[in-house]
Chain A
């Protein structure tokens, strides 16, 4: 049998609680500082504006493109390479005045007339400023609803201390991922938001598995202290936690390297999220529950467990 972890020995995860609490705390502070100083680099979906992706027949000369656009009256255009030398991304801020939605076509015409007739339109996106604001609102709302719904479900299924532990781990993962995007100045668009919600899904998945085992171990071994129980549960689930993270990271690497430019931000957010999600389900969720004083008495079933007969432990 191949094994990552020799399960005969229990690992004293909780002995290092202080160290990991310090690490997490520092990272959280760093993320929050970065978020308030650097802010997030919001993409077009949220800021509004126009974006054009064009394909040149050969490597594009950025300076030539910039001067052509400037001559055409688009001096606020931001031009950058996108993926390859031939692909360019041109961004324009929302403009005052009429027919903002026609900017894309105008830019394309300017480039075709000024540089090369065979420049190919690959993508035009225009988002009105109000629509962008709505996306921000909707996104925030989605995140909040997801967290609350999951909190309610976990509180119903588990004891509140474990639920708080699980949701702290989620918040931890989301804040750190946002912090990474802010610190590196990566673009935050709708797909990244979707990735963040998937991170929430993944991280909770991981935490639930651990919490499940914590509950089971409490019920099974009456004599162990809470710290011993958690250490045992974490050790028992360790190889599963690592294997699932590994398979997920494998597919995400595939997505990151061959999935194309459009999916890059998405894959980055998930890769990092899955990584911190694994860490947090081991070190954050359980130690929060332990600090809140989770004990055997809280987790004994009130009656024989039947499907659908679970009682809300808060009541």
Chain B
């Protein structure tokens, strides 16, 4: 018997290892300190920006390694951290409000590697430093807001249709419409039936009530919408913060994960991300007396709200416009140098505003500033409880029909600044609370990388030494397979776009190093047994590999099951461990079985041997 691999098998082994090595290569080039320039919705990054950046850096005597325009961003690579900070400062000043200048570490991958899509591994926050937030959305409030909007719509359509009602109210995912007479009831039934998608009509002829109930499907869609809307807004806010490569993802039914690599000032990040301030525009109720309302007689359809300057105001419950129609907001000053917020609306918002103000020229309109504060408590179903704080910021008389741009006065300078930032980035449609935070400082991140690398190197050296001492030449073969396995793990980790290396992930690599030789140990022990049973060396090799195969497969599949379950239910760092463990198991099967066999066959196969160095 002669042990020979067909040529294609040898080539396959070489090809796989070379490919992995190629994709693992970017990891050794390190990173350049860089600044990354992107624009908000009011500006674009183009060749002109590029020139401006070049010129600014030149005037500051900073000579960057490279400046490149890619994917509507300018990336400036610098040679030191100090220059990086200088460059950010200078560019921030020069480019102004509409551009965001973020600090970043750009991989120094050579362009020939980049052209084949090779990138270094992504490092988890525990290795590169940064903040991880888990935020929870208040779904009750999100639903209430949407049902309130629906209530307003139904109310105004009934009015237009001249169907008289006594009350329209929101109750438990449904809107109750109480009609004035039997005739109105019939009209309403006819009019409302099937008019609004996602709502089911239930009628009660005895009380003349029509109930529009949200369908299960619509409920689910609405919840989804609330989350995705909040994610979009969160993304805008993160952009305003100027963070390179943020991660914003949905997790579960009502949570959002936000990861901000490299952010140190968590206090400001939290303030901006968690802010739920929004604006509402409402008409002031001029038909009723505020004093009556203060004494407890709040007229139907109106609401009493505190005012920032002066006593409470009586406002109509109907909302003319909410903050989500705002496309841009900026700070300005009026002729008396008082701060004001200039607001621009989108098309729909402009129409709404113009429709509402058309018949109300000369009447006062109020700007309501709303903020949600978490009480930290939860209701019976485990939903977070929030307090809504509404405050009238300003009341102004409508001078003429308003369009899609107007201004709000009556705010302080700092407030104008914050308000305009928040309005620009969009208001959250439902309040959120941070339920988990993990912040890692940069020095700890680097320390974790060093410790992890050290552990891998020490583990590797110990195992390599042991194998070569115990199994001699065959041990050397196993060592080569082990080294190839490390390259494969790093290569695969770099190739999979979603894979992130964390400290537990590095521990997973260490563990794999120890366990990966198991397959070789099994094979080699078998070969020894065969030799003791007086088989010829070639037969011993053949039988050794063959009979160990099913054992190796069984043993590895069970470990793989554990790794997959870890990946499925674990959170960030644990997932990182599971992924390197799973990849390690799979690659080690390849290197330990196919890889070593290729070497063994080409060194010892095809020869007459009297003994083996095992």
Quick check: which of A69-77, A137-145, A175-183, A287-295 contacts chain B, the rest being far away? A137-145
- A201-B563 contact, Cβ under 8 Å, with A120-B443, A121-B441, A244-B517: yes
For residue A292, give the distance in angstroms from its CB to the closest CB of chain B. Answer: 20
B441 touches A122 (CB 8 A): yes
Q: Which of B114-173 contact A (CB under 8 A)?
A: 126, 134, 136
Specify which chain B residues have a CB less than 8 angstroms from the CB of A209 in the assembled complex: 522, 551, 554-555
Q: Verify if A61 is at the interface (C-beta below 8 Å from B).
A: no
Please give, as numbers and ranges, the residues of chain B lying within 8 Å of A200 by CB-CB distance. 562
- Residues on A with C-beta less than 8 A from B569 are 138-139, 141-142, 145
Q: Are B437 and A104 touching (Cβ within 8 A)?
A: yes
Judge whether B266 and A105 touch: CB under 8 Å. Answer: yes
Of the listed stretches B412-420, B423-431, B445-453, chain A binds B445-453
For B552, the closest partner residue in chain A by CB is A209
Interface pair A239/B561, CB less than 8 Å apart: no
- The residue in chain A whose Cβ has the minimal distance to the Cβ of B559 is A201
- Smallest CB-CB separation from B264: which chain A residue? A121
Which of B17-25, B205-213, B571-579 contacts the other chain?
A: B571-579
Q: A221 contacts the other chain (Cβ, under 8 Å)?
A: no
- A39 at the A/B interface (Cβ < 8 Å)? no
Please tell me if the beta carbons of B507 and A263 are within 8 angstroms of each other in the complex.
yes
Q: Which A-chain residue is minimally distant from B556 (CB atoms)?
A: A205
Residues A150 and B561 in contact, CB atoms below 8 Å apart = yes
Cross-chain contact B515 with A157 (CB below 8 angstroms): no
- A212 on the B face (CB < 8 A): yes
B561 touches A258 (CB 8 A): no
- Nearest Cβ on chain A to B523's Cβ, whole angstroms: 10
Contact stretch, chosen from A17-25, A30-38, A125-133, A296-304? A125-133
Q: Tell me whether B438 and A124 are in contact (CB under 8 A).
A: yes
Chain A 39-87 residues near chain B, CB threshold 8 A: 53, 55
Contact yes or no, A244 B521, CB < 8 A: yes
Which A residues are CB-close (under 8 A) to B606? Answer: none
A266 and B507 contact, Cβ closer than 8 Å, known pairs A124-B438, A142-B566, A142-B570:
yes
Q: Which of B86-94, B368-376, B389-397 contacts A (4 or more CB under 8 A)?
A: B368-376
Measured between beta carbons, the chain B residues less than 8 angstroms from A194 are 504, 566, 570, 573-574, 577-578
Check B451–A258 contact: CB distance below 8 A: yes
Q: Does B503 contact A (CB under 8 A)?
A: yes
- Are A126 and B436 closer than 8 Å at their CB atoms? yes
Contact residues in A for B532 (Cβ distance below 8 Å): 7
Contacts of A206 in B (CB 8 A): 555
Binds B, one of A110-118, A222-230, A249-257: A249-257
Closest CB in chain A relative to B263 CB, distance in Å: 12
Give B285 Cβ to nearest chain A Cβ, in Å.
33
Contact with B along A176-202 (1 / 0, CB 8 A): 000000000000001101100110111
- Residues on B with C-beta less than 8 A from A150 are 558, 561-562
CB distance from A192 to the nearest CB of B (A): 10
Contact for B514 among A7, A128, A251, A266, CB less than 8 A: A251
Out of A138, A204, A213, A216, which one reaches B562, CB within 8 Å? Answer: A204
Of all chain A residues, the one with the shortest Cβ separation from B131 is: A124
B477 on the A face (CB < 8 A)? no
User: Which chain B residues lie closer than 8 Å to A127 at the CB level?
Assistant: 435-436
Q: With A123-B441, A149-B565, A194-B566 as known contacts, state yes or no: A1 contacts B577, CB within 8 Å.
A: no
B589 within 8 A of A: no
Residues B503 and A190 in contact, CB atoms below 8 Å apart: no
Q: Are A98 and B376 in contact (CB under 8 A)?
A: yes
Would you call A2 an interface residue if the criterion is a C-beta within 8 Å of the partner chain's C-beta atoms? Answer: yes
Interface residue tally on B, bucketed by range: 35 or more
**Cross-chain contact of A255 among B374, B455, B469 (Cβ < 8 A):** B455
Alpha-carbon distance between A125 and B435 when the two chains are bound, in angstroms: 11
**Closest chain B residue to A100, Cβ basis:** B376
**Complex formed: what's the CA distance from A101 to B274 in Å?**
11
Say yes or no: B437 contacts A125, CB within 8 Å.
Answer: yes
How far, in Å, is B443 (CB) from chain A's closest CB? 7
What residues of A have a CB within 8 angstroms of the CB of B578 in the complex? 194
- Are A191 and B574 in contact (CB-based, < 8 A)? yes
Query: Is the CB–CB distance between B518 and A190 below 8 Å?
Result: no
B43 at the binding interface (Cβ < 8 Å): no
Measured between beta carbons, the chain B residues less than 8 angstroms from A154 are 558
- Whether A254 contacts B462 by the Cβ 8 Å rule is yes
Tell me, in angstroms, the Cα distance from A302 to B525 when the chains sit together: 29
B270 at the interface (CB under 8 A from A): yes
**Interface contact B459-A153, CB-CB below 8 Å:** no
Q: How far is the CA of A157 from the CA of B581 in the complex (A)?
A: 23
Please report whether the interface of chain A is mostly helix, strand, loop or mixed according to DSSP.
Answer: helix
B267 on the A face (CB < 8 A): yes
- A267 vs B558: C-alpha distance when bound (angstroms): 21
For residues 255 through 275 of chain B, which have their beta carbon under 8 Å from a beta carbon of chain A? Answer: 264, 266-267, 270
B529 CB within 8 Å of chain A: yes
- Determine whether the beta carbon of A263 is less than 8 Å from that of B503: yes
Rounded to whole angstroms, the CA-CA distance of A217 and B239 in the bound complex is 66
B527 to chain A, nearest CB (A): 11
Chain B contacts of A267 at CB under 8 A?
507
Give Cα distance in the complex from A239 to B525, angstroms.
8
- Other-chain contact of A98, B375, B451, B455, B518 (Cβ < 8 Å): B375
Q: Which residue from A141, A244, A258 sits with its C-beta under 8 Å from B515?
A: A244
Question: Does B550 count as interface, using CB distance less than 8 angstroms?
Answer: yes
B466 beta carbon closer than 8 Å to chain A:
yes
Of all chain B residues, which has the CB nearest A94? B376
CB neighbours (8 Å) of A249 from chain B are 514
Name which residue of chain B comes closest to A128, CB basis: B435
With contacts A157-B554, A191-B573, A202-B559 known, is A98 near B374, CB below 8 A? yes
Q: How far is the CA of A244 from the CA of B552 in the complex (A)?
A: 13
B458 touches A254 (CB 8 A): yes
B378: chain A residues within 8 A (beta carbon): 130
A residues less than 8 Å from B573 (CB atoms):
190-191, 194
A96, CB-defined interface residue at 8 Å: yes
Q: Judge whether B52 is part of the interface by a CB distance below 8 angstroms.
A: no
Q: Does A315 contact B (CB under 8 A)?
A: no
Docked Cα-Cα span, A212 to B511, in Å, equals 23
**B557 adjacent to chain A (CB < 8 Å):** yes
**Residue A208 CB within 8 A of the other chain:** yes
CB distance from A49 to the nearest CB of B (A): 11
Within 8 A of B (CB), among A229-262: 236-237, 239-240, 243-244, 246-255, 257-260, 262
Report chain A residues within 8 Å CB of B441: 55, 120-123
A157-185 contacts to B, CB under 8 A, are 157
B528 within 8 Å of A by Cβ? yes
Please name the residue on chain A nearest to B612 by beta carbon.
A1
Central interface residue in A191, A253, A259, by most chain B CB within 10 Å? A259
B350-376 vs A, CB cutoff 8 Å, 1 = contact: the mask equals 000000000000000000000001111
Q: List 25 A-B contacts (CB under 8 A).
A: A96-B376, A98-B376, A101-B434, A101-B437, A104-B439, A120-B443, A121-B264, A122-B441, A123-B441, A125-B439, A138-B569, A138-B571, A142-B565, A190-B570, A205-B556, A213-B551, A251-B459, A253-B462, A254-B454, A254-B459, A259-B452, A259-B455, A259-B510, A263-B452, A263-B455
Residue ranges of B at the interface with A (Cβ–Cβ < 8 Å):
126, 134, 136, 264, 266-267, 270, 373-376, 378, 382, 433-441, 443-444, 447-448, 451-452, 454-455, 458-460, 462-463, 466-467, 469-470, 503-504, 506-507, 510-511, 513-515, 517-518, 521-522, 525, 528-529, 532, 547, 550-551, 554-559, 561-563, 565-566, 568-571, 573-574, 577-578, 581, 614
Known interface pairs A124-B438, A153-B557; 19 further A-B residue pairs with C-beta atoms within 8 A, sorted by A's residue number = A98-B375, A104-B439, A120-B441, A128-B434, A130-B382, A131-B435, A145-B565, A153-B561, A197-B562, A201-B563, A201-B581, A240-B525, A247-B518, A248-B515, A251-B463, A251-B511, A252-B510, A258-B451, A263-B451
Q: Identify the 9 closest CB pairs spanning chains A and B, nearest first.
A: A260-B451, A251-B459, A251-B514, A201-B562, A128-B435, A254-B458, A248-B514, A201-B559, A254-B459
